[in-house]
Amino acid sequence: LSDADPGDVKLLERVAVLLMKTEQYKEAIPRLKKLLELRDGPPAEYSALGRMMIETDELEPAVTFLESASVRFPDTADFPFLLTFPFARLERWDDALDAFQKTVALAKGKSAELLDERFYFRYAAAHERAEHFTEAELIFRKTLELLAAREPDENNVALAATVMNYLAYLWIERDENIEEAGAMAQEAAELSPENGAIADTLGWYFFKTGNFPRALLELKKAEKLIEEPDPVIFDHLGQTLTALKEVEFAAEYFHKALELDPENKEVKERLSGVKK
């Protein structure tokens, strides 16, 4: 202990433990922070508190706390690693990418377990959200290579399907690598046949390549599979039905899309087009 009163520390510990046992995590956080101020805790205690702050959606305080911990323990990869989570949820993509890069630099060797396929998937997705598409593609491919080297299990197969879908949709939206995107979307659909997002990507591939009947089949499947109504899928259905000259049904789907995304100018224009 430093100059802290041991009695104060013990009391704080008991209160914090009681709050955590009763799952009052938000109330426990300030006590745990105070404990770290009163004594020199190891990096693992800072990491544990940072994780608790993220899990309780204390995102901005988590950023402040973890950045301070990064300064205190500059050679510990866990802190930039943990920072990637609140930065991503706050959509601070440049900060997230900086934290991903620092994690890679610090984790190689002594903390290499952090650099698994899920880490690289999130890293690639952050590049995509920051519109760094070349970097995103490279890291998505690295993620798939890591997954291919694993013994297949339910979790790895599901993640592989998700990564394939993300990369395929990125290409389809940008009209790049269309045939590879279609093959990848098809493989993802075979790995995860009940995934609505993947069915949407496959349907959108068929739309982009002019196979409108098959696009409609896949997109209707996506509509049935999704848990929550999705304006993107509704828009895709509207565009496909427009291409099939089913303008009344197309208008219905554009209306559904606008109910969920009322400021979408492109959908508004498409709706106006089918009403003429």
Phi and psi at residue 260, to the nearest 5°? -90, -25
Contact 240, 254 (CB under 8 A): no
> 3: pLDDT confidence band, cut at 50, 70 and 90?
very low
Please give the Cα distance from 167 to 142 (Å, whole number): 12
For the stretch 60-95, what's the b/e string if a residue is b when 16 or more beta carbons lie within 10 angstroms of its beta carbon? ebbbebbeebbeeeeebbbbbbbbbbbbbeeebbeb
Q: What is the pLDDT of residues 186-224, one digit of tens each?
A: 999 999 999 999 999 999 999 999 999 999 999 999 999
DSSP 84-153: HHHHHHTT-HHHHHHHHHHHHHHHTTTTGGGSSHHHHHHHHHHHHHTT-HHHHHHHHHHHHHHHHTSPP-
> Of 8-22, 92-106, 204-218, 235-249, where does mean pLDDT reach its minimum?
8-22
Please give the Cα distance from 198 to 270 (Å, whole number): 24
Q: What is the pLDDT of residues 56-78, one digit of tens each?
A: 999 999 999 999 999 999 999 99
pLDDT at 22: 75
pLDDT at 6: 47
pLDDT at 149: 92
Q: What is the pLDDT of residues 7-60, one digit of tens each?
A: 576 776 777 677 777 777 777 787 788 877 777 788 998 998 899 899 999 999
Q: State the pTM of this model.
A: 0.88
